[in-house]
Amino acid sequence: MSKINILGVFAVFLIFIECQFGSQDYFSGKVIKVIDGDTYDMVADDSEDTIRVRMDGIDAPERGMPFSRVSTNYLSDLCLGQYIEVEKTGTDQYGRTLGFTYLKDGRELGREMLKAGLAWHFTKYNSDQELADLEDEAKQAKRGLWRDPNPVPPWEKRALNRQNVAAKDAFDEDGETLEDKYKNNSLNTGDTPYFEIYGGNEPCTLGGCSQIKVTTPDNSDVLVTIKKDNWVVRHAYIRASSSYTFEVPNGTYQPFFYYGKGWNPEREMKETPKGLVKGGFIVYEEFGKDDPQVLKNNILEYVLILQVNGNFSTKESNMEEAL
């Protein structure tokens, strides 16, 4: 079996695109689950499929932010188990339906969340003056999240997250910072935190097999994903100064390297056709990748070294393509 050595040095440029435009449509159904203060699952009257709806015009506190639980519970009280009508305005990059949601009594859910002070007017994608006025009224009355004179809106938290500083300003529902809660948390080398979505690391029992060995830096943990045909077929958590070897049938594979510190098992990372990928680092995130490699009875070895400056022999990547 031949051996290929690759010295990997990696960086990250996170790309996040939010889309909220499309054609209008109307449909009705029943709310079966509330995800947070601006997102819920429903089953349409003419289908048995579950539809995830992201409410247009508002942005509610995300998990880990103050008032996240209150916002989620308030939306649940309004609509869980209720029959609603959705005015569809588009589909976002995650495949969620965007729209305005109306209860049987005519109330629109986004407006109700703004009135209660449990969501922001999402002005980046909506310029409706009525929604702006509702937010302003709640702010003046110091309702909900406006009890804080300077609440941090979710889009700023997402921006901070992409700059690797969000964890210092993010809180769990008991007020403890996520950095304090998870900064020393890590998994064992070889653990597969995304098992429910991507499965485990099966040994290669076919006639033609190859190996991919990854050795991590001494100052970082790494979550490695191995993709074939744009789907993760192997993945493993590897602690700092450790190594792990994947066995794969001969073929073409692309490795991705997700680096960071402090593992938060509840962090929501990415929606996939098989469900939500949960679990991620809270600080110093970086993503790297190599080009697809054709393996035929080979051992492909990566020795990962994180450097602040210098040339990069692996390419930058992002969460969307790595997971």
Is the pLDDT score of 244 beyond 80? yes
Active site residue 96: yes
What pLDDT sits at residue 201? 93
What pLDDT sits at residue 166? 41
Is the pLDDT score of 206 beyond 90? no
β-bridge pairing 293-295 and 243-249? unpaired
Burial tier of 72 (Cβ tally within 10 Å: 0-12, 13-18, 19+): buried
9, amino acid identity: V
Q: How many residues does the chain have?
A: 323
pTM equals 0.51
141's CB contacts (< 8 A; 6+ apart) are 117
User: If you average pLDDT over residues 170-192, what whole number do you get?
Assistant: 75
pLDDT tens digits, 81-109: 999 999 999 998 888 999 999 999 999 99
147, amino acid identity: R
Q: Which of 52, 63, 69, 96 is catalytic?
A: 96
What pLDDT sits at residue 23? 42
Q: Which of 62, 112, 135, 179 is catalytic?
A: 62
Closest alpha carbon to 65 in 143, 209, 176 = 176
Active site residue 63: no
**CA–CA dist 321, 14 (Å, integer):** 10
**CA–CA dist 244, 141 (Å, integer):** 56
Other Cβ atoms within 10 Å of 284 Cβ, number: 17
Is the pLDDT score of 176 beyond 80? no
7, amino acid identity: L
pLDDT tens digits, 211-222: 999 999 988 999
Q: Which of 18, 48, 52, 54 is catalytic?
A: 54
